[in-house]
Amino acid sequence: MALDIPLIVFIVGLAIASTLAVQARSKEGEDGTRTMLDSGLAFSVVGLISSGWTYAIHNSILESGETTMCASKGLVQCGSVIGDPEWNNLFGIPWGITGLLSFSLLFFLFLSLRMDMHAKWAESFTTYSLLAGLAGVPFVAFLIFVELTQVEGAPHICPFCTVAHLSLVGFLIVAYIVRERKQNDMWA
């Protein structure tokens, strides 16, 4: 599958989020924490938009049986993954919607921390962020398993789903570091 513009934009988004995280590691105190929170926010925004994109692909496949938003043939494609009637939803809810709601929660937690790093609830929010990120891991593992073994004509890799999965992994790493900073008095 050729790299199309939306995919390039998502990859750039992931690269920016990762760069922010790397930069934050070399900064100390409040500045470093703030940059780390920016990185988490960037990961959650990429996750939000990529989830929305997969939901749009889902609707597009339902409507017309095919989509111009992603390839539908080959190893790297969306048609056989997002278009699979058996695996494209969680209890009837498309995975794109599930992703949107999940990344909204992560975005809210980090945005709250970013807006008031010294609030009384900041420490508990760092814990909630880590737990919420961890809660997504079994779903990501399950979806990768489904892509590789269960969908029609498996294995397939859905690139936009992978962007969402990487966003969660990135967020989780950042949430872990943020919590460490809070607990080890490196917050500000």
Number of residues that bind other proteins (CB under 8 A): 41
b/e burial code for range 70-98 (CB count within 10 A of at least 16 → b): bbbeeeebbbbbbbbeebbbeeeebbbbb
Under rule CB under 8 A, residue 100 binds other proteins: yes
Query: What is the Cα 87 distance to its own chain's centre?
Result: 19
Per-residue binding letters, 61-90, with other proteins (x by CB under 8 A): -xxxxxx-x--------------xxx----
Residue pointed to by tokens 């992931």: 14
CB 46 to other proteins: min, Å:
12
Nearer to other proteins, 108 or 139 (CB): 108
CB 22 to other proteins: min, Å:
25
Nearer to other proteins, 111 or 131 (CB): 111
Q: How far apart are CA 35 and CA 65, in angstroms?
A: 43
Per-residue binding letters, 10-49, with other proteins (x by CB under 8 A): --------------------x--------------x--xx
Q: Is 89 helix (H, G, I), strand (E, B) or coil?
A: strand
Q: Over the Cα atoms of the chain, what is R_g?
A: 17
Q: Locate 178 and state its tokens.
A: 């943020």
159 preceded by cis ω (within 30°)? no
Binding residues for other proteins (CB under 8 A)? 30, 45, 48-49, 52-53, 55-60, 62-67, 69, 84-86, 92, 96, 100-101, 104, 107-108, 111-112, 115-122, 152, 188
